[in-house]
Structure 1
Amino acid sequence: MNRQFPPRSGICETEAARAIWDEVVRHDPDWAFDLHSARGIYKSGDGSVGQALFPTWTSPARDYGENTVANLNDEFGLSGDMAYLMGNTLDADRDMLMHRTAGFLDVLGFLCETTEKADSLDEQIQWHLYTVEHVMDQYGQSPSVDGSSSSSSGESDTQEIHIEGTGPVTRFEFSVSGTVENAGTLEDTDAVYSDRVEGQVSTQDDRFAFTGDLEQFVVTEGDKDDVNVYVDGQQISVDEANPEKIIHIGGTGPVTRFEFEVTGSLRNTGTLEDTDTAYDSRVEGQVSTQDDEFAYTGELEHFTVTDGDKEDVVVTVDGDRISVQEESHLIEIRGTGPVTRFEFAVSGSLENAGTLESTDTVYDDRVVGQVSTLDDAFRYTGKLEQFTVTDGDEISVA
């Protein structure tokens, strides 16, 4: 199961893995823990990873981890092989959940490993609980007497925000400096994160409890005059966000992969398929005969075709067609000594990316060249349609 999460790009390999990843993205975590039990013990020679804490590359994960490991060993009297160690950094180079969390979300996180060589399962559970609570305490949250969490910064007084709908559908979002939780009837149109809410009202009302300060309240869709917002019974003024724009990606037949990013937030307004992954401000997707559509705020930073031909998609923003970029690829032709002539063609465009010699000729979509002891390199878009050695022996192409 934990080998189905590509760390930097692409979709998860199985339906279960995709469901897990969708939950991670939906909750937009400030930190993440992946709790495991291994058969053996880290660095004991048995090839296992028990009794170790592996931090993501996001600072200060390693510092928090080292403090936690030291206190964990002291609290439970762990020594010798049973003593916890700090593991290597999870730097998004393996197909595992926490590596993907590091590569995509860049949040503070830990892969926590106990060992089945413990005296009991209860012992392993206690080590895991201590690890999670100790990291959270350093981050600024610790369990209170009643089991709920409260900020160590003193922002423990809870306030209530009441969003009253007057009829028309109105979308909103707000953020707080502390934490927020639902205090009314949570509907499918509402999403509650640790310090932020995206929601909707019409004839019904929403209520949330929060700590800290209300940083902003913005109407993202609809009219701000169609909602009344109260904090502890006192009505407050609200702002209107920049209007959403609609980006429509039309497929013309061939499978085409794409990626785009915006400066604000986005949401799916079409049919989200298994081949599409939507994050807070970025989408990785695919079209062929079907279309994709998303609503976003802010500005469109880029739209790039990552696999396929940019001519096979029609992209519009609020009905106006826009130009798209095509991801470039690097081809390196390495000489091994003897003079070797070659030529290749691409479906897009290309340019020299190395030292262009007099024996090399670069056209718009084709190169005729030569290598011997020196190498050639070119950057191109589209697909490599053909590569042919025209004179000499085989060469190394990467």
Structure 2
Amino acid sequence: MLEIVYVCRSDGSIQRQMNSAISERTAELHSTRRTVLRGIGAAAAAACGLGAAGGAAAASDRTSYSIRTGTEEETDVYVTEGAASGPTVLVVGGLHGNEACGYRAAERIKDWRIDAGTLVVLPRANVPAIEAGHRPWGTWDLNRHFPAGERPKSRLAQAIWDDVVVEHDPDFVWDLHSSRGIHSEDEGVGQAVFPTRAGDARDQAADVRAFLNDEYVPASMPTYAFTGSSSVDGTADMLKHKIGADRDTPSIIFETVYNGLSMARQVAWTSAAVWRHLRNYGLITRPERTITVTGRGETARYEFAVDGAVTSSAAGGAEINAYDGIDGGVVTGRTTNQSDSFRFTGSVVDFDADAPVDVTVDGDAVEAESVGADVLTIDGGGATAHYEFAVDGDVEKSTAHGATRNGYDAIADDGTVTGRTTNEPDSYRLSGPVLDFEADGDVAVSLNGDRIEPAFLGASTITIDGGGATAHYEFTVDGDVEKSTAHGATRNGYDAIADDGTVTGRTTNEPDSYAFTGVVESVSVDGSATVYADGEAVDLR
């Protein structure tokens, strides 16, 4: 077990010392490269706010601003930045006010947490038309105000072009619509994906069409299969055409059918199309996971939350209906006999149902009360490695993330796990923290599908809070250290990390937090700030 001791020195500094006792069997593994992972809480990596190289993917940073401010056309633009660099994708909804699917799907998409790049969403482009429920507003159609090679025709179109398209210079644009009829079968253009000819738009459109037709469109509804074609950019005064012609940027108009297709399906299929594209373009990089909830004959209402992105899925014949809703990262639904399925990234952090249901996560059947359990995965990557770890809670084998079950792995009654991995990973579902982890080879370790460097799995946090009074501080660690947003902390230019592990900074009203490995060797503060170790206040006397 891990023992942490705080030693207060006469000069007011504090030393944090760690001592551990390792089982005799684990000690036998020391002859080769040893990895020791101690005190891995169920959400430790996420709490530390580490980036992709050092832990769970960092949270997205979302801001918003308005265009046409102070007019009846005022509307909001949402900008989400991933933790890593990457392309920019723009999603526009609501150019036509009577096509509710477009702006409803965009409202859902704006809340997604991405991992890399930038996601810009203009959900309600034409607010007056949306409020009136009309395709045009007055006598004009906003999506006919974007002539190629010329200025947009209206002030709203100019604001969309100047303050959104030009401002963010997207690498790809989605324009979300719906239609009253099926493309190529009647007067409508629904169930179609129309790309520009710029860049890879046609390849992306083909991939999205195949994805939707394979997973989302039921075999019993063949006329609703997605089709589509491309036309020469600039041949119509549409936003898509102007983007392709003037900026040589790939773009797609996405059309579902609002006659004969429920709004729930329209929004789910539209959201799924953009989800697929964001994965293709590298904005959503964390492993895609699936949760399925199935009723047992008694109507059950359920609710759960995820700490990543989430959208409806039709995997395994799951139904998509109006009883299911997604608001940010919170999902609510109702099931009796049918299955509801959702694809997501990150972790399920809470689950509740008011009647018995069957739940599977990543294909594993789990008890409803343990849905939020973490999954630890160990992969030898082709080289045989033996490992051992202990869990302060329940642990069971899992097939998540391509893992297998075999006779080399064993779980003792006291929560100690031993195993061997070579070419196929081993996964375990955990209800509590990992206390010790050791391996005699160079294994890749992941928590909930997020690759975590072993050195960071044992990371702790130190937080300094000025409480309103300015205080300067300095501390030193003998391991790695990086800024964190844990415990409400912020990142700013007053803080610096030297190559030798010495950290200096200043805090007043907002706390500063750091994730670190190893031992905090010393801490000094020149004011009345409070210092916290893993969220617990430390007495510096």
TM-score normalized by structure 1? 0.37
Higher strand share: 1
TM-score normalized by structure 2? 0.28
- Structure of greater relative contact order (alpha carbons < 8 Å, 6+ residues apart): 2
